[in-house]
Amino acid sequence: MGVELFTVLSPVMLVAAGALICIAAEAFLRVSAKHTLLPWIAAITLLAAAAALIPGLTTQVQSVAGILVIESTRAWLQLAVLLSALCGLAALQHGLRRSEAPSGEGYALMLLCTIGVMIMVQSSGYLALYIGLELASLATYALIGIHRHRLESGEALFKYLIMGAVFSAILAYGMALTYGATGSIAYGYAPLEGREHLFLLGQTLVILGLLFKVGAVPVHTWAPDAYTGSSIGVAGFMAATMKVGAFVALAAVWLNALAVLGEGAYRGPLSLGLTIPMGPELREAIGFLPLILLTVALLSLLLGNFAALGQRCLRRLMAYSGIAHAGYLILGLALPTAVMGVYELWAVWYYVIAYGIAASGLMLAAAVMAAEGDGDDLHQLAGGARRHPFAGIVATLMLASLAGLPPTAGFLGKFFILSDLVAKGEIILAVIAMLLAVVGAVYYLRLIVVLWSASDASAHPRPAARICPLGVLALTIVTVALVLFMIFPSVIGAAA
């Protein structure tokens, strides 16, 4: 029990310790020290938590009272969360130092949000999932409004807070209905006799609440405004870390629903690498849920990709890009027709990790290359790669991965999702998704051209800011991670 307790809780406890140290130290530091010392304290705790995860990369399921779980798939996903949080932290430091912000609570808030996401990934029941989600959400609200003097930040915070409260209530109500149907707040309990329809209704509401956090159509309207009203660092954190956590939670709930409806109760905490035997009775039991997810996936692909084509602001572009990527990920969930008689999600987990790393790395590089402050309009980013060649090279790699260009990890992620659709006999869906991926590649390639194009020096009266050492470290780590993930894609397959 002691070994399991340490393995499961040590990464979260290390990040929590870093958050508490940042909160305690912030009041005693000068302004300059706040943006030098606090980010490094936070970064060290994130790296220490990543090191503590290493034993879990190859372990079987271990849990604490069946509430929080660690196993190989979750460990890899948590590692992606920590890497993307490191990039968000470095981007936040760059922005706050440049704007000479008088306070440094943003670093502790980002760590608190990371803790919430880690709990979401580790949760093996609805109580832990809700606690983690709310902790991450409350910290995110504060991060969006951290620049209190900006009108757009206040507007974004208000919209996200109101909509977040509504969908949080929907999520809680769905969990309550699921509890009424199963008699338990943990995953792994089949509905009691005669309560199957109550279980389906509860799961539908839970999925709807999590689709809001993922930013999928039709509950996506908060994302463009929330991203635009945030700083580049916070927008990157939301686009990567928060989205990874939300999608892992969504996929875990869906996997649990398939497992309990197909085979009844399964023993032990839920493993994200679970393979589920499929049969006609399961397809009948899940009813309309796959059709709902399929509709959401296709609408997200269409709106996300075509809306992103006309965007001139990188943060807004990433909001619509995230909607499109949510569509690809939901496609991996929507069709539970089994390949070789079983249903599994290893291709989805690979895509989630590849997306999280690439999105966080891109936004950190953009924070470095921005002409001034949060100036991430395309004309302000023009020539940014020439001013900061290292950040430009990293941004180019991340954009190529997000676009799905071979041989990047993003290409492999799309290939695994689409080949899975073909193997399930959904060739038309695979073709539609591939064509929309081509549409998506257009705005990513346009951005690469903008970054490396020659720019008018008069458009940038301020000199290019020097990249912080933490930014160099984070960009290096995330680049190495993405390249290794591209070379060794089988690590997720082995984990799952």
pLDDT band at 461 (very low <50, low <70, confident <90, very high): very low
- For 450-457, the CB contacts below 8 A with 24+ separation are 450/378, 450/381, 450/382, 451/369, 451/381, 451/382, 451/383, 451/384, 451/385, 451/392, 451/395, 451/396, 452/383, 452/385, 452/386, 452/392, 452/396, 453/382, 453/383, 454/383, 454/386, 455/382, 455/383, 455/386
The pLDDT assigned to 339 comes to 58
> What pLDDT does 265 receive?
54
Q: Which of 230, 243, 236, 21 is nearest to 111 (CA)?
A: 21
- pLDDT of 458 higher than 50: no
Residue 227 has φ and ψ, to the nearest 5°, of -70, -45
Among residues of the chain, what percentage have pLDDT more than 70? 91
pLDDT (tens digit per residue) in 409-430: 999 999 999 888 888 778 888 8
**pLDDT by residue (tens digit) across 13-66?**
999 999 999 999 988 888 778 888 999 999 999 999 999 988 877 777 787 877
Predicted local confidence at residue 419, as pLDDT: 87
**Confidence (pTM):** 0.92
Query: What values do phi and psi take at 420, rounded to 5?
Result: -65, -40
When pLDDT is averaged across residues 71-96 and rounded to a whole number, the result is 92
pLDDT at 336: 61
Range in 101-105, 229-233, 440-444, 476-480 the model is least confident about: 101-105
| pLDDT at residue 495, as a whole number | 53
Mean pLDDT of the chain: 86
For the chain, which residues make up each domain, given as ranges? 2-495
pLDDT in tens, 109-159: 999 999 999 999 999 889 999 999 999 999 999 999 887 777 778 888 888
Burial of 373 (0-12, 13-18, 19+ CB in 10 A): middle
Helices (H) and strands (E) in the chain, counts: 22, 4
Residue-wise pLDDT for 304-341, tens only, equals 999 999 888 899 999 999 999 999 999 988 776 555 56
Task: Please name the helix (run of DSSP H) or strand (run of DSSP E) that holds residue 459, with its range, or none.
Answer: none
Query: Measured between alpha carbons, how far is residue 262 from residues 38, 280, 285, 335 in Å?
Result: 49, 9, 8, 15
How confident is residue 463, by pLDDT bands cut at 50, 70 and 90?
A: low
